[in-house]
Structure 1
Amino acid sequence: MKKIRTVVCGTTFGLFYLEALDRLKEQFEIVGILAKGSERSQKCAENYGVPLYTELQALPKDIELACVVVRTRALGGRGTELAAYFLEQGIHVIQEQPIHPKDLEECYKIAMKQGVCYQTGDVYPHLKEVKNFIKCAQKLNEIHGGPLYINASFAPQVSYPAMDILMGALPDIRLWDLPDNVKAGPFRILTGTLNYIPICMEIHNEVYPKDPDNNMHLLHHMELIYESGRLTLQDTFGPLLWNPRLDIPTELYNRGKVTGEVPDYMLEPTAELLGGYKNISFKDIISDVWPEAVMQDLLLMKERINNKILFRQKAQKEIICSNQWNEMTKALGYADIMERKMDKVMAGEIIKTALEEI
């Protein structure tokens, strides 16, 4: 099997791409890292046994795929320029989100013109609990037509994948109406409608400039309210919960006694843990969960390289997602600057002691 010769640009989140490509070494070959030459980049090149390049012109001429894991123009980086450069050279590109819709359309035009594939890299829709949330929401949408209400909480750093998750979980996301923006401590509360469905978004709209990819109160929390109950993705990594709506028949009150026969639906548990959830550690996320999700993205890219119809379908969805993300961030406004880092993570065992106290 011919391996796809691949270069990785950037070594922050790009580190996960390097690990994923290394695990797919039967299908992909890392031919180099493009970075600024920092100590971190040098260590990455040494650990994965590949050359480190600091100039575009020095890269090998036979590259087939570029993973551009550098901040995009939307975040003040040069990721968009790098992606456009590779596409112009006839090289397939995965570019890490978020990407402004104008930049996305520009890159897709170049890709179509050059006959190569381009896609947004986004690990979150590949995560087990997120996939389960989307599947269950789609089943409930078949039954009810859609939710009655949406509550979504997330950090601005993961607002783009939040939009991607909502796109998978809802019948449509093409129409925003977000008239209200309220500051509540470190959060911004946006309320309005998404495709006529009432929505409330609680967004931790703060950034610590010295460590902008950290210091978040949460990644994603999403809850969809249906007539029959509520579906909750408690966190990006789970658990996924179903809570049926409490419905006590009037005849039970009329008989004047709380014991006795009840309808079958009242025997259902008040909360159902869906999808065989298992606890994972933050170490598991770094060493396995994220690399595995990037692997799924890479394999999808390989499939689209071989099937241009799949590529065009993906392009249409990504443009919708980017447009809706852009509209939402306009309503949100600029993030507040954090003056200090957050306190360290507290172990659950410490909190459990509160339940053990007499």
Structure 2
Amino acid sequence: MMSLERPLRVVVCGTRFGRVYLRGIEKLKDKFQLVGILARGSEQAAKCAREYKVPLYTSTEQLTKENVDIVCVVIRSAVLGGAGTNIADQLLSKGINVIQEHPVHYEDVLRCRKTARKSGAYYQINSFYSNLQTVRSFIDVTRKVLKKSEAIYIDAACSMQVLYPLVDILGQALGGFRPWSFKLDNDNSEKNPFSSLSGEFNGIPISLRVMNQMDTSDPDNHTHLLHRIVIETTMGSIMMTDSNGIVLWNPTMYVPHNIDDVLDLYGENEFLDFQVTEPLLPIEKRSYKDVYNNLWPNGIVAALEGFRYKILNSKNDNQLAQYELTACQVWKNIGEELGPAKIVKGKNLYPTSLKDL
């Protein structure tokens, strides 16, 4: 068991999305100490190293388990054509714990898990979105509702860049994946930005729409949504409007019959007092500045705290390992049905609020 007397020393690999990790670590100075940035040596990486007053490493050879406890690998994995998987494996072979940003191919997760076991290190995929406040609320309330009711169907939509997190969100909310199956329904035409699939997830009928498009000149933008999910149950529906948005509870509309066998629309019954829609959390105004400065870094906080607890308490994570591998299989199966992403050219955007309309 690692000592609890000092913060865990962390290196962040990658300074694009890695900047969100840097902000998250900054919120946890009593539990984590940023001791370096690992990158190829770009000006962006050098700037981040100067800002956080830490060394800039350019090779995994410069890191050992004597000078770092955790590396957050926040660059593209092998399945996306990046070096993230090889870097993660090299670090794990040194006995350094690694948390890797999604998505990661099934075979690569298996490889990293084997290396981690051999060297006595911990490895974990961070699907990121499942730790955001909105998504966490959706997962938690779904679990509670399903203890008292039965799921009827799932209606879900996402962009292809965040398909793996969608699988993880549903897996956590529903308590697993099996049995699952997916079949492509539409012709994936050029005019339709979404590819539609139907099937089952954890034995529940599912309708899934994936925006299977990408602007290769700006792959991080020009998506129409992150995650939108509705889980209908025998008691009502749980709706997540967006990963950064709100969660709503809609009780099932039911009109009982009166003694004359007429729909009791205007009489006295308990169903009439139900609110049509209830937000799980107080609805607050949230700008994208709030998302990038608080909501997302707080998601990193949640992920790292869980990883820290496991490391410090030498927790067996075989169950998580099996869960991650199964999630990768589901993600892979959906991807095979979807086929390659359609290449599009994103349109110029300008900020528009409701008052502008």
Aligned equivalent of 1:194: 201
Q: CA deviation at 1:154?
A: 0.5
1:174-213 equivalent positions in 2, closer than 5 A: 174-182=178-186, 183=188, 185-213=192-220
Deviation per CA, 1:6-54, whole angstroms, max 9, x where unpaired? 2111101111111222222222222211112222112111111111122
Alignment of 1:36 with 2:40, yes or no, is yes
State whether residues 240 and 277 of structure 1, in contact with CA within 8 Å, keep that contact through their aligned partners in structure 2.
no
> Cα gap change, 1:14/1:265 in structure 2, threshold over 3 Å: closer, same or farther?
same
Q: Which residue of 2 aligns with 1:312?
A: 318
Write the letter of the residue equivalent to 2:185.
N
* Residue aligned with 1:309, SS: coil
State the shift of 1:205 in Å. Answer: 1.0
Offset at residue 59 of structure 1 (A) = 4.0
User: 1:310, CA displacement in angstroms?
Assistant: 4.6
Structure 2 unmatched runs, 5+: none
Following superposition, the deviation at residue 255 of structure 1 comes to 6.1
Aligned residue pairs total 349
Q: Please give the TM-score of this superposition, normalised by the length of structure 1.
A: 0.92
**Which runs of structure 2 are paired with 1:1-358 in the superposition (5 Å)?**
1-59=5-63, 62-144=67-149, 146-182=150-186, 183=188, 185-251=192-258, 259=266, 261-351=267-357
The whole-number CA distance in structure 2 between the counterparts of 1:107 and 1:258 is 60
Identical aligned pairs, as a percentage?
Answer: 35
Deviation of the 1:189 alpha carbon: 0.7
Is this contact kept in 1: 2:152–2:234, CA < 8 A? yes
- Distance across 2 between alignment mates of 1:336 and 1:221: 21
Distance 1:238 1:230 in 2: 17
- Report which of the two has the higher share of helix: 1
Which runs of at least 4 in structure 1 moved beyond 6 Å after TM superposition? Answer: none
Provide the C-alpha distance between the structure 1 equivalents of 2:193 and 2:249, rounded to a whole number of angstroms: 29
Q: 1:310 to 1:300 in 2, by over 3 A?
A: farther
**Distance (whole Å) between structure 2 residues aligned to residue 253 and residue 247 of structure 1:** 17
Is contact 1:220-1:236 (8 Å) kept? yes
Q: Which amino acid is 1:77 matched to?
A: G
Alignment gaps of 5+ in structure 1: 352-358
What is the identity, as a one-letter code, of the residue corresponding to 1:175? P
| One-letter amino acid of the structure 1 residue matched with residue 236 of structure 2 | G
Structure 2 counterpart of 1:356: none
**8 Å contact from structure 1 (residues 181, 331) kept in 2:** no
In structure 2, distance between residues paired with 1:56 and 1:341: 39
Coordinate RMSD, CA, aligned: 1.9
2:255–2:263 contact (8 Å) kept in structure 1: no
TM-score of the superposed pair, with normalisation by structure 2: 0.92
Q: Distance in 1 between matches of 2:263 and 2:299?
A: 55
User: Structure 2: how far apart are the matches of 1:63 and 1:274?
Assistant: 40
Q: Which moved more, 1:334-343 or 1:146-155?
A: 334-343
Equivalents in 1 of 2:85, 2:263: separation in Å? 69
For residues 236-271 of structure 1, the C-alpha deviation after alignment (integer angstroms, 9 at most, x for no partner) is: 123111112222223288569964x32112211111
Rate the CA distance shift 1:87–1:218 in 2: closer, same or farther, 3 A: same
Contact 2:183-2:198 within 8 A present in 1 as well: yes
Q: Residues 249-302 of structure 1, C-alpha deviation per residue, up to 9 Å, x if partnerless? A: 23288569964x321122111111112232311000111111111011111111
For 1:354, the equivalent position in structure 2 comes to none
In 2, Cα distance between the equivalents of 1:257 and 1:151? 31
Q: Cα distance, 1:136 vs. partner?
A: 1.4
Deviations 1:163-187 (A, max 9, x none): 1100011143122222233126111
Q: Aligned partners of 2:36 and 2:243: how far apart in 1?
A: 32
Shift of 1:343: 2.4
Question: Following TM superposition, by how much is the alpha carbon of 1:139 offset from its aligned partner in structure 2, in angstroms?
Answer: 1.5
**Deviations along 1:117-173, whole A, 9 cap, x unmatched?**
1111232111112111111111221112x4111000101111111111000111431
- Distance, in Å, in 1 between the alignment partners of 2:116 and 2:54 is 27
Matches of 1:179 and 1:201, distance apart in 2? 10
Contact 1:176 1:327 in 2 (8 A): no
